[in-house]
Structure 1
Amino acid sequence: MSNILILGANGQIARLAEKQLLAETPHHLTLFLRNASRISASDANRETIVDGSADDVDQLKKAALGQDIVYANLAGNNIEDQAKAVVTALDATGIKRLIWISTLGIYDEVPGKFGEWNNATLQGYLQRYAAAAKVLEDSDLDYTLIRPAWLTNNDVIDYETTQKGEPFKGTEVSRKSIAAFVVKLINDPTQEIKHSVGVNQPNTDGDKPAFY
Structure 2
Amino acid sequence: MKRVLVLGANGQIARLARAELLEQEVEQVLFLRKASRIHVQNTDKEIVFEGDASKVSDLEKAMDSVDIVYANLAGSNIVAQAKAVVTAMNNKGINRLIWISTLGIYDEVPGKYGQWNHQMLDGGYLETYSEAAQVIEQSNLDYTIIRPAWLSNKDEVDYELTKKGEDFKGTEVSRKSIGYLVATLVAKPDQYIRESLGVNKPNTDGDKPAWY
Alignment TM-score, normalising by the size of structure 2 = 0.99
2:110 is matched by which residue type in structure 1? P
Greater than 6 Å deviation, 4+ residue runs: none
Per-residue CA distance 1:145-199 (angstroms, 9 max, x = gap): 0000000000010000000000000000000000000001000000000000000
Mapped to 2, the partners of 1:30 and 1:89 lie a distance apart of: 15
Counterpart-to-counterpart distance in 2, 1:178 and 1:40: 21
Gaps of 5+ in 1: none
Whether 2:37 is the aligned partner of 1:60: answer no
Q: Map 1:1-212 onto structure 2 (within 5 A).
A: 1-22=1-22, 24-123=23-122, 124-212=124-212
Q: Find the aligned partners of 1:20 and 1:142 in 2 and give their Cα distance.
A: 22
Once the two structures are TM-superposed, the CA of residue 46 in structure 1 deviates from its matched residue by 1.0
3-state SS in 2 of match to 1:29: strand
Inter-partner Cα distance in structure 1 for 2:53 and 2:31: 8
C-alpha separation between the residues in 2 aligned to 1:20 and 1:60?
23
Question: What displacement does 1:40 show?
Answer: 2.0
SS at match of 1:178: helix
User: What one-letter code is carried by the residue in structure 2 that aligns with 1:70?
Assistant: V
Distance of 1:89 and 1:134 partners within structure 2: 17
| 3-state SS in 1 of match to 2:99 | strand
Q: Work out the CA distance in 1 between the residues paired with 2:199 and 2:43.
A: 32
Which runs of 5 or more structure 2 residues have no equivalent in the other structure? Answer: none
Please give the alpha-carbon distance, in whole angstroms, between the structure 2 residues aligned to 1:17 and 1:145: 15
3-state DSSP of counterpart to 1:54: coil
